[in-house]
Amino acid sequence: MRHVIALDVGGTGMKAALVGADGGLLHQDRRATGRERGPEAVIEAILEFAGDLRAHGEHRFGEPAAAAGVAVPGIVDADRGIAAYAANLGWRDVPLRDLLSDRLSGIPVALGHDVRTGGLAEGRIGAGRGADRFLFVPLGTGIAGAIGIDGSVEAGAHGFAGEIGHVVVRPGGTDCACGQRGCLERYASASAVSQAWALAKGDPDADAADCARAVAAGDPSAAAVWQDAVDALADGLVTALTLLDPRTLIIGGGLAEAGDTLFVPLREAVRRRVTFQKLPEIVPAALGDGAGCLGAGLLAWDLLAAAATPPAAGGSGATPADPATPATPATHVGPNGPATPASPATPTTPTDLSEVTT
């Protein structure tokens, strides 16, 4: 059975899957990243994991994986297949795509940024399914973002697009590791809420999940901490939606697990702030911590779809329901071609702009 390898490399653990043509997970596995053993050992652990997955697929499905997709943290040059920098793994300019392809007998490999890859999955097969424009914002240790446009995710000119966590929402405010002050992630990440709640409660072990529970139970001091985070988040999100006009705003990460405790006040806070902007639908992420791995699978299938020249050859299993994938000129894509289309065709807009009144 035709399948691909999907691998999501995190700071502590790696998640992997073999994904079928219909997007189904045929096999799932996890391993420790083992970063305490150093950057070289992490690379070897990834290659070994990928090799084992290939062997498993060949044994179980009668053929080895046709392609592989890998999501990694840090700064990623997806076009060249290089993990340019990852502070938590100690990486600098690791040619991971070629290393993996070599280990996997030359199959095409796509390398992606973890958040953008997770966002790709949320946008296509998760909470944003069917949305032509979305913004995915995971609220975890920090805050990142993925800008979805017509079935792919915008990386920016230098791979930094979507870093909404470093939009300044409180000028002159709390110091951020990025060197700026008052960044959104210092107020609305799960870590920031944990810190604020630990301080308010005088309990160093109190965290964001405790805070959410206390808010739901009607604790006024928790409500104050929570509302500060919600207000900061709404300020950041309104900046983003003013620039991007997304149809769907997908909020994920640990803080989103608070459910309505977060989403009810957040929708209200965003609604109060917009004037002329169209309110996007604000929804919780649907894929949880499996998003990165599912997105890696999509990257791999995208590579195969781009390499297959005649678009009519649908066969038994076309790629997962995805009407929004832009047509990619196959001539620009070699066996290890870019994971993202070099120049997605601009869709023609049927709307007559002269009729739009302002």
Contacts with Zn ion, residue ranges (CB under 5 A):
166, 176, 178, 180, 183
Distances (CA, A) of 70 to 65, 338, 354: 13, 13, 45
For the bound state, the minimum distance from the C-beta of residue 246 to Zn ion, rounded and expressed in Å, comes to 22
* N-to-C CA span, the chain: 54
Rounded-to-integer distance, Cα 155 and Cα 280, Å: 21
For the bound state, the minimum distance from the C-beta of residue 235 to Zn ion, rounded and expressed in Å, comes to 14
Residue among 1 and 178 whose Cβ is closer to Zn ion: 178
Rounded-to-integer distance, Cα 83 and Cα 210, Å: 36
For the bound state, the minimum distance from the C-beta of residue 171 to Zn ion, rounded and expressed in Å, comes to 12
For the bound state, the minimum distance from the C-beta of residue 47 to Zn ion, rounded and expressed in Å, comes to 33
Residue among 179 and 311 whose Cβ is closer to Zn ion: 179
Residue among 115 and 303 whose Cβ is closer to Zn ion: 115
Instruction: Give the H or E element holding residue 228.
Output: helix 220-244
DSSP reduced 3-state for 172: coil
Strands (DSSP E) along the chain, which ranges?
3-9, 13-20, 25-32, 68-72, 75-77, 82-86, 91-94, 109-113, 133-138, 146-149, 152-154, 248-252, 281-284
For the bound state, the minimum distance from the C-beta of residue 190 to Zn ion, rounded and expressed in Å, comes to 16
Residue among 68 and 255 whose Cβ is closer to Zn ion: 255
Residue among 206 and 237 whose Cβ is closer to Zn ion: 237
For the bound state, the minimum distance from the C-beta of residue 183 to Zn ion, rounded and expressed in Å, comes to 3
Residue among 3 and 166 whose Cβ is closer to Zn ion: 166
Rounded-to-integer distance, Cα 170 and Cα 178, Å: 15
Residue with token string 């420790």: 32
User: What pairing do the DSSP bridges indicate for beta strands 68-72 and 109-113?
Assistant: parallel
